[in-house]
Amino acid sequence: MSEMTAAKTKKNAEGSDGAMTEHERTLLVFDLIGEYCGLDVNLVREIVHVPPRITRVPNAPHYVRGVINLRGTVIPVLDCALKMGGSQTGNTSESRIVVAEFEGIQFGVLVDAVREVRAVPDSLIETEDSSSAGSIGTEYVIGIAKMEDGRLIVLLDLAELFDITRLLEEEN
């Protein structure tokens, strides 16, 4: 790391009085199969209502609900609940598609409801023990945020959940 980069990193971590401040992550918090889940907000491109029709794709994996046309771009819609062994997410008035992008690949993730965008200090996130992830498979979990109000927010690893890295390798 160059001296200039190191100085900027230190300055960004310092408060106005020169004291070190805590790092935090900004998360999009949503409901999914009875759990609060979080996703790094930097992966989120937009949040859209579920359209009346999602076009099915023949021979697609079971968790691919289909595709939608979002302002001229065809976006696959993935159902996290199905991927994690649950039942298909039912569409309600609160259901949304979170359009995410990872390594240039855009896809929509069907969620039960979007709750908030929230900054979470790293000190509240436990990455060692994902056993408290409830009904969500631990292989898809980055960590658990233990909020001061007692809520647990499961931080999902979408790249792992939908095997995006494998798709990138197949393209190359």
- What would the pLDDT profile of 75-91 be if each residue is shown by its tens digit? 999 988 888 777 776 78
| Section 117-140 average pLDDT | 72
CATH class of 22-171: mainly beta
Q: Supply the mean pLDDT for the chain.
A: 79
- What would the pLDDT profile of 4-58 be if each residue is shown by its tens digit? 333 333 334 444 555 555 799 999 999 988 889 999 999 999 999 999 999 999 9
| Cβ 125 vs Cβ 155: under 8 Å | yes
21 contacts: CB under 8 Å, gap ≥ 6? 13, 14, 15
What phi and psi values does residue 65 have, to the nearest 5 degrees?
Answer: -70, -25
Q: pLDDT grade, residue 108 (50/70/90)?
A: very high
Q: Tokens 């199905």 map to which residue? A: 82
Q: Where are the domains of the chain?
A: 22-171
- List the structure tokens of 89: 């997410």
Q: pLDDT grade, residue 150 (50/70/90)?
A: confident
What is the reported pTM?
Answer: 0.76
